[in-house]
Structure formats: C-alpha cells, structure tokens
Amino acid sequence: MVKVGEYEVQEGLYYHSEHFWAKVEGDSVRFGATDYGQKALREVVFIELPKVGDEVSQNEAYGTVESVKAVIDLIAPVSGKIKEINEKLTDTPDLINNNPYGDGWLILVTPSKLDDELKNLMTFEAALTWYQELAKGG
C-alpha cells in the first residue's frame, strides 16, 4: 500500500478513472471502489448491486452506491458475467469506507474481453501519477 497525500493506492490492481479498481484473480476479476472514491463519498449508507449471472460492460453502470452526501453509479472496469456479489454490503455497506481494497469489495466477474479491456485501465504505476494530480486538486 502506498499513500499519496491522504489517499491509499494498492499495488497489483488496475484502476478506472471513475475511482474503481479491478483485480485479476485467476480466471476471475474482482471489482471495488478506491480509497479516493470512498473518501469522496464519505459514510456509505446504501448499496444496490445486480444479481449473480447478470452481465456488466466496461465503463457502464451496474449499480449504485449512496452516501450521506452523494450518490454515484458503480462503473464496471471490465466486461463480464457476475459470479459473486459481496453479500456483506447489504447489512454493512460501510465496509466500503473501512476497507475499500479488502472486505469492501463489490462483485466478482468472469471477464469476457479481459486482455483488450485491461489496456483501457491504469496500472498501479500510472495510478500513482494520477493520484499525485488528484491529491493536489483536493
């Protein structure tokens, strides 16, 4: 874990510019929200996730997350079919705040165009540079 300003960036993840991450785990990909995204949202109060078996497409919304001050779409970093959703978030949506790169993960998908689509995401190194900009911008 690296800290840029007040934001944590984790190694080994791919980053989407709408503040979500993707982690390749064998033949699956796990999605989550970044520390920056979580901090911008503040206290998450509600999350709406799709069902196992639903399809998601890169850069498209597949659910929503609502906090005390905001509501945003969950954007898929890559396309695929949902294998698993994080059931814990229904009762404890604040896991997204407390552990965005761990217990606060969102969904697990079987990717359909992984190799092509990963190119559209930022690597950890690219994300670091981007975070330096974000940390400045406030």
Considering only the stretches 49-57, 69-77, 93-101, 122-130, report the one whose residues sit in contact with another protein under the rule CB under 8 A. 69-77
Considering only the stretches 4-12, 35-43, 92-100, 106-114, report the one whose residues sit in contact with another protein under the rule CB under 8 A. 35-43
> What is the C-alpha to C-alpha distance for residues 32 and 22, in angstroms, rounded to an integer?
7
Contact call for residues 18 and 75 (beta carbons, < 8 A): yes
β pairing state of 61-67 and 55-56: unpaired
Residue 103 vs residues 2, 33, 94, 100: alpha-carbon distances, Å: 18, 11, 10, 7
Instruction: By CB under 8 A, name the one of 2, 71, 98, 120 that touches another protein.
Output: 71
16 binds another protein (CB under 8 A): no
Site string for another protein, 73-92 (x = CB under 8 A): x-------------------
Per CB under 8 A, residues contacting another protein are 19, 37, 40-41, 64, 66, 69-73, 134, 137-138
